């Protein structure tokens, strides 16, 4: 059997914005080489989990390890430099920067021009549309194109772990399908994926393992297959 390597380990974190904790005693593992998903309804705390991992809203208690390095209280830019990238909720492209500049920012930690160029070629191969539009301001692009910019930007850092927050939000069904296909291809590039979604069916179809979040707590977890067959999950989320 293959040896399991933990890419990300979240251990009993509590995170909140003001006084009340939004996340309570949450633990999860993302195994290297997998697509691991976190499912949950709107407001269940998915984005807050990501913010905790990225150090944007550090947890009040608990620990977060990334490839065995304790990143719980590290500044965001230092966490990112360890090889973690994210595609944020709502794309968050830099509207006043060009497509190319947005991509360059994704590779901000890399100084080697050749390496960056090679990565950009890879992104352009994945999204030829972005190469055509490389000098266009990202803010003037369509939602689908901005999604490409955001994904491409996430790949420019050549991360070990890519965290994706609700990529299908606001996209047409056709683009959603395309999105999931791309996420699958990302895993094939040896990038571990932590995928946060509300779109249960399609997410479980490409995931290896999943967690279900409700009101800031993990209420179910298991391999994608078992979650799919789980009666509770079915009733709660397959509406």
Partner 1 sequence: MDIGLIAQQTVNGLMLGLIYSLVAVGFTLFFGVLDVIKFSHGDMLTWGVFTAFSVYLGLTLIGLAAPVLILVIVALVAMAAIGFLGAAIAKVLIIPLKGAPPLNTLLITLMLGTVLRESIRLFYPDGANPKHFPALLPDWSHSWGHFTLRFDNALMLLTGLLMIVLVQLVIKRTKLGMAIRAVSQDEETARVMGINFNLVVYVTFAIGSALAAFAGVIYVLYYNELSFNMGLLLGAIGFSAAAVGGFGNIYGAIVGGFLFAMLQSIGAAALPFASAYKDVFAFGVVIVLIAVKPTGILGEKETERV
Residues forming contacts to ligand ADP in the complex (CB under 6 A) are 17, 22, 40, 42-48
Question: Binding to Mg ion by residue 199, rule CB under 5 A?
Answer: no
45 vs 58 by CB, closer to ligand ADP: 45
13 in Cβ contact with 65 (< 8 Å): no
Coil, helix or strand at residue 163: strand
Burial state string for 13-32 with b = 16 or more CB within 10 A and e = fewer than 16: bbbbeeeebbbbebebbbbb
| Among residues 15, 34, 44, 47, the one that binds Mg ion under rule CB under 5 A | 47
Q: Cβ closer to ligand ADP: 46 or 91?
A: 46
Q: Report if residue 14 touches partner 1, rule: CB under 8 A.
A: no
- Residue 239 CB, shortest distance to partner 1, in Å, is 32
Of the pair 93, 227, the CB lying nearest partner 1 is at: 93
58, 16 in Cβ contact below 8 A? Answer: no
CB 110, CB 157: distance < 8 Å: yes
**Stretch in the footprint of Mg ion (CB under 5 A) among 46-54, 132-140, 147-155, 228-236:** 46-54
Residue 137 DSSP label: B
* Contact (CB, 8 A) for 220 and 226: no
Please give the angle made by the CA atoms of 105, 59 and 6, to the nearest 5 degrees.
70
Q: Which residues contact 121 (CB under 8 A, 6 or more apart)?
A: none
Q: Report what 159 binds from ligand ADP, partner 1, Mg ion, none; CB cut-off 5-8 Å by kind.
A: none
Of these, 52, 86, 146, 230, which contacts partner 1 (CB under 8 A)? Answer: 86
Contacted by 26, from Mg ion, partner 1, ligand ADP, none: CB < 5 to 8 Å by type: none
Taking CB under 8 A as the binding criterion, the range among 38-46, 79-87, 120-128, 224-232 that sits at the site for partner 1 is 79-87
Q: Is residue 109 part of the contact set for partner 1 (CB under 8 A)?
A: yes
């Amino acid at each position: 059997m293959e040896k399991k390597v933990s890419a990300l380990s979240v251990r009993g974190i509590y995170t909140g914005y003001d006084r009340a904790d939004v996340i309570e005693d949450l633990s999860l593992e993302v195994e290297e080489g997998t697509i691991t998903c976190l499912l949950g309804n709107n407001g269940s705390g998915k984005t807050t989990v990501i913010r905790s991992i990225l150090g944007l809203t550090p947890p009040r208690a608990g620990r977060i390890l990334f490839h065995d390095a304790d990143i719980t209280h590290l500044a965001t830019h230092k966490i990112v430099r360890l090889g973690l990238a994210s595609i944020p909720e709502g794309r968050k492209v830099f509207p006043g920067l060009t497509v190319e500049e947005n991509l360059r920012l994704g590779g901000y930690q890399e100084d080697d021009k050749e390496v960056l160029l090679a990565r950009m070629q890879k992104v352009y191969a994945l999204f030829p549309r972005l190469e055509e539009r490389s000098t266009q301001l990202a803010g003037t692009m369509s939602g689908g194109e901005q999604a490409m910019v955001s994904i491409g930007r996430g790949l420019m850092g050549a991360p070990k772990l890519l965290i994706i927050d609700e990529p299908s939000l606001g996209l047409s069904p056709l683009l959603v399908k395309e999105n999931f296909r791309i996420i699958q291809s990302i895993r094939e590039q040896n990038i571990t994926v932590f995928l946060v979604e509300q779109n249960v069916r399609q997410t479980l179809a490409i995931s290896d393992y999943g967690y279900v979040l409700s009101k800031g707590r993990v209420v179910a977890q298991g391999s994608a297959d078992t979650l799919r067959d789980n009666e509770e999950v079915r009733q709660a989320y397959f509406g």
